[in-house]
Structure 1
Amino acid sequence: MFVMKILVVGDVHGKIEKLKKRIPKEDFDFVIGVGDYAGIDEWYPYIKYTFHLKDRKKAKSPKEFFGKKRFKDLTKKDFESGKRVLLFLDGLGKPGLFVFGNGDDEWYDYPFSKGLMKAKKSIKNFLKKIKNIKEMNYKVRTGKGISFLGFGGYLDISANAKGRDKEWQKRVDKRDEKAERKMNSLVKKLIGKSIFILHYPPQGIFDIIRDKKNPFDGGSSGITFFRKSILKKKPFLVLCGHMEEYQGKKKLGKSLVVNPGEGSKGKFAIVDIDEKKGKVKKVKFLK
């Protein structure tokens, strides 16, 4: 039997301490990251501010909210937090793949709206030093008879439409169309058995926001075109994160969807797959 043990980690948000203690005790052959490596608690006042704004057009930018100097200091601290996480995962000494999350601002080029977000030069230089785990935002890689599709980064979700105007919705619709076209182009490149590495969950699976303090509580963070692509292509394994309130596995059509849990709390998953058959043998969750 050709069994590969995959370590799956996500939603670390810069808090790597518990994972550092727990992961080295486990046996695995391959590493997959589903995004949101960077993060600092100092951003939360701004996030809370934007969540509760009644008129989104009057929203301050992070730089305006914190002030130029403090914003610069926080941005540097945020970058260092993500750097520590990726260096730890790379330092495990196993091959692997990773996508970015919506919280990994300026770690990647956002392709669905011109000028909305670009990776900093310092970040691009840092990523060149990562040797064992390969970045695969919006990419397909094939090895050992399995095609891996990676689709991370920021996406618009239906829950975020609350209180928005028609102008905003038009921009979102345009971004969604471009994102779906990109997903479709990647799906066409898949050969044989496949694994999807996503940040956001597919619509209908681990997607409902469960947080009474969140104004979007009860809304969906799931991506409709992910769901459509999964049902059409039938990858034998789908890995996703973003929704930290969940950890577990569910079926979507013939595909097994796994959310490894909130990495910042030391949660992760190890998925045993039969490489030859393209089949999941076992999923172990570390809670």
Structure 2
Amino acid sequence: MKYLALGCSHGKIPKIKTKDFDSILYLGDSAGYQKARTLVNKWLKEVYNHGSSITFEQFVGRRIYSNLQKKEIENARKVIEYINSLNKKVYTLPGNWDYYKDRFHKYKKNYYKKVIIKNLSNVKDLHLKYTENKDHVIIGYGISTNSEIKTPFQYNYYFKRLKRLFIKAKKKKKPVIFITHNQPYNTRFSRIRDKSSPVNGMEGGSNVAKDIIKKFKPLLCIGAHMHEHFGKIKVGKTTCISAGYGMKGDKVLIDAGEKINSIKFIRK
């Protein structure tokens, strides 16, 4: 099977020139645009540099927050509509910008399901779910923006859900592709390398993703989130791919069966 993997478009419709793939792996963060990201960085500087407890909505004001939210959701929908229009099966999951509501993000309205991916015939949400095709089982884990181990209940909840899926997948006797929003913890791809960011140099990876990889050894783990990292590494027996920054045109073509045949990184 041939896959096109990308993520972190942040409201910008990707340019996809090739059609030589069977399915699309969209790794989250269709929402967001440059003005919002600039304001978020200013807010984070206030939080990290001055120890402020102010929320983002309080920082920018309710009117600006509401307008940003509306624009982000509109842009996210356009991105996913375009990907859906390519008439390929799209396996996706929510990123941390995508307005996904669950037990750990109750303050968010669930625009991800209600607006962003709603009624798109080729799009299948794989967050904490699995699917299979003729060659692989694909398991998804979205949302994660940093280490879950800081909140043990959250770590245990996600790890147990994914563990059940991997045990179920083992019965299919097919290689597993693990798609994530974040990168596995304490790897070359999980360290923030962005001098404009107030969290530059900090560790931002997912303990859940790392521990699942170590325990179940999927053929591939493909993530995004860390825009500055674009390439591949090995974590044990698993090839881990960082799909880079979709907003700048990064994407990855993967050809795999029982083994990985080829990986091509496209930066344009």
Give the counterpart of 1:199 among 181, 200, 203: 181
User: What secondary structure sits across from 1:259 in the alignment?
Assistant: strand
Give the counterpart of 1:144 among 127, 134, 158: 134
Give the counterpart of 2:217 among 226, 230, 234: 234
Give the number of the structure whose alpha-carbon radius of gyration is greater. Answer: 1
Is the contact between residue 11 and residue 76 of structure 2 (CA under 8 Å) also seen in structure 1?
yes
- Structure 1 moving runs of 4+ over 3 Å: none
CA distance in 1 between counterparts of 2:181 and 2:120 reads 20
CA distance in 2 between counterparts of 1:88 and 1:200 reads 23
Is the contact between residue 98 and residue 133 of structure 1 (CA under 8 Å) also seen in structure 2?
yes
Deviations 1:151-174, CA, capped at 9 Å, x for gaps: 00134438xx9xxxxxxx5xx333
CA distance in 2 between counterparts of 1:63 and 1:32 reads 32
User: What secondary structure sits across from 1:213 in the alignment?
Assistant: coil
CA distance in 1 between counterparts of 2:46 and 2:168 reads 42
* Count of aligned pairs: 261
Quote the offset at 1:189 in angstroms.
2.2
Give the counterpart of 1:42 among 35, 59, 64: 35
Q: Label 1:62 to 1:249 Cα distance change in 2 as closer, same or farther (>3 A).
A: same
RMSD (Å) for aligned C-alpha atoms: 2.2
CA distance in 1 between counterparts of 2:116 and 2:76 reads 11
Paired-residue identity, % = 29
Q: Label 1:125 to 1:223 Cα distance change in 2 as closer, same or farther (>3 A).
A: closer
Kindly provide the amino acid, as one letter, of the partner of residue 31 in structure 1: I
1:264-283 aligned at under 5 Å gives the runs: 264-274=247-257, 278-283=258-263
CA distance in 1 between counterparts of 2:2 and 2:62 reads 46
Kindly provide the amino acid, as one letter, of the partner of residue 40 in structure 2: Y
Give the structure-2-normalised TM-score. Answer: 0.88
Q: Label 1:46 to 1:146 Cα distance change in 2 as closer, same or farther (>3 A).
A: closer
CA distance in 2 between counterparts of 1:55 and 1:187 reads 43
CA distance in 1 between counterparts of 2:200 and 2:118 reads 39
Q: Label 1:285 to 1:50 Cα distance change in 2 as closer, same or farther (>3 A).
A: same
Unmatched segments (≥5 aa) in structure 1: 162-168
Quote the offset at 1:35 in angstroms.
0.9
CA distance in 2 between counterparts of 1:230 and 1:270 reads 21
Is the contact between residue 200 and residue 241 of structure 1 (CA under 8 Å) also seen in structure 2?
yes
Deviations 1:200-239, CA, capped at 9 Å, x for gaps: 1112241111122323222212222311211221111111
Give the counterpart of 1:115 among 97, 106, 130: 106
Deviations 1:229-280, CA, capped at 9 Å, x for gaps: 1122111111101111011111111111111221111110100112xxx211
Q: Label 1:62 to 1:257 Cα distance change in 2 as closer, same or farther (>3 A).
A: same
Unmatched segments (≥5 aa) in structure 2: none
CA distance in 2 between counterparts of 1:61 and 1:11 reads 23
Aligned to 1:285: 265
CA distance in 1 between counterparts of 2:11 and 2:116 reads 16
Aligned to 2:23: 30
CA distance in 1 between counterparts of 2:243 and 2:116 reads 26
User: What secondary structure sits across from 1:32 in the alignment?
Assistant: strand
Is the contact between residue 31 and residue 133 of structure 1 (CA under 8 Å) also seen in structure 2?
no
